[in-house]
Structure 1
């Protein structure tokens, strides 16, 4: 039994949930895949898969083996890439986690260029505004903004962006334009539940903090965008979140003379695992994308 091929076959079976799909991937018959898995189970003396009418899923032992086998395969692939040279095209699967709105506005529209450069690579993007367990979800790289809670993760700062108080002209025509942070308690604030309701500003070395309130609280940035564009109030957000609207005037900055703490974009890699060439090159790709976004939002 070729142990490397057996691990690769098992990983493909778990990823696809099917012997036949794994067989098509490797260009062999389904009986050959079944035989390989049976030999692997006999070698390990454990059952790796549960077979049911819903397909194939890993047992507890199978999931443990899958996690370690996947890491081993990735490290072997990395070793080959290093030996062949950095110019070698990427292949396999890249699993990315990213905040929904950020990915929709800035990453997904640019993906065709990245995929064209790497025709043998597939990308899977998990869209979620919350931090997830990167190891448990098999994520190669996560794109996150703000303060990072996990001190054990491997991180790389990709970009730093501006944060502003934003609203539509229609809302400001109705409610008036605040002239200083002290005016904000008189306005309808759209509250993003992942951020505090005390907003802190700085001007000429002087700091001021104000407590804001509003009738709408949202848990995801996509909801925040929708509420602002529906003229429901003003909010604090990264300019990245409203680049198209800031360019065409649909959304405007207020209190421009006052500065807010900036926001950082991070590439986060799972702790305890080797950073893959795929993840490193994707981080570099995003960094280049954000240079263009930063120029357009300045």
Structure 2
């Protein structure tokens, strides 16, 4: 079953209108109609009674609407929860940058970054010495000049 078509069907069931459902979902009326037709063909049932003035749910339509409305709402909630959890960086970011570059560029923007992403912490090693990114556990490095270690140039 096409979950997008099911979502469209639920909106038609809520609004009792192809036009209102299309407006609410940002779709065309014909797009809504095609999605409902595909869903009916897929399920091999008629879900809606249609005439020129109104739309109403058939018995099968009522069953599908009642059975899937709360399920679809829960799926949307899970999607929003997941998106909300991963929308912003969190945890520790360990970086290394050259000393002079850090003073001129990195330090001035660190406060802005940390203000924007309060769940993020930054462990910054501002040094000119060559560091072993893997051995020292760095997530990122900024270096200026020619890359000496070809394994790091990709």
TM-score, normalised on structure 1? 0.27
C-alpha distance in 1 between matches for 2:79 and 2:26: 22
C-alpha distance in 2 between matches for 1:69 and 1:43: 16
Hey, what does 1:81 align to over in structure 2?
Answer: 80
Instruction: Give the C-alpha shift of residue 53 in structure 1.
Output: 4.8
Partner SS state of residue 82, structure 2: helix
Instruction: Give the C-alpha shift of residue 33 in structure 1.
Output: 0.8
Hey, what does 1:52 align to over in structure 2?
Answer: 51
The Cα offsets for residues 85-129 of structure 1, whole Å up to 9 and x where unpaired, read as 48x9xxxxxxxxxxxxxxxxxxxxxxxxxxxxxxxxxxxxxxxxx
Instruction: Give the C-alpha shift of residue 43 in structure 1.
Output: 0.2
- Per the alignment, do residues 84 and 31 of structure 1 end up closer, same or farther by CA in structure 2, a change over 3 Å counting? closer
Hey, what does 1:64 align to over in structure 2?
Answer: 63
C-alpha distance in 1 between matches for 2:26 and 2:81: 27
C-alpha distance in 2 between matches for 1:84 and 1:36: 26
- Per the alignment, do residues 29 and 85 of structure 1 end up closer, same or farther by CA in structure 2, a change over 3 Å counting? closer
The Cα offsets for residues 113-151 of structure 1, whole Å up to 9 and x where unpaired, read as xxxxxxxxxxxxxxxxxxxxxxxxxxxxxxxxxxxxxxx
Query: Of Structure 1 and Structure 2, which has the larger fraction of its residues in strand?
Result: 1
C-alpha distance in 2 between matches for 1:27 and 1:82: 23
Partner SS state of residue 28, structure 1: coil
The Cα offsets for residues 233-279 of structure 1, whole Å up to 9 and x where unpaired, read as xxxxxxxxxxxxxxxxxxxxxxxxxxxxxxxxxxxxxxxxxxxxxxx
Partner SS state of residue 75, structure 2: helix
C-alpha distance in 2 between matches for 1:81 and 1:28: 21
Hey, what does 2:105 align to over in structure 1?
Answer: none
Hey, what does 2:42 align to over in structure 1?
Answer: 43
Query: Of Structure 1 and Structure 2, which has the larger fraction of its residues in helix?
Result: 2
Hey, what does 2:19 align to over in structure 1?
Answer: 20
Partner SS state of residue 46, structure 2: coil
C-alpha distance in 1 between matches for 2:50 and 2:27: 21
Instruction: Give the C-alpha shift of residue 82 in structure 1.
Output: 3.0
Listed as ranges, the matches of 1:219-234 within 5 Å are: none
- Per the alignment, do residues 72 and 54 of structure 1 end up closer, same or farther by CA in structure 2, a change over 3 Å counting? same
Q: Which runs of 5+ in 1 are unaligned?
A: 89-298
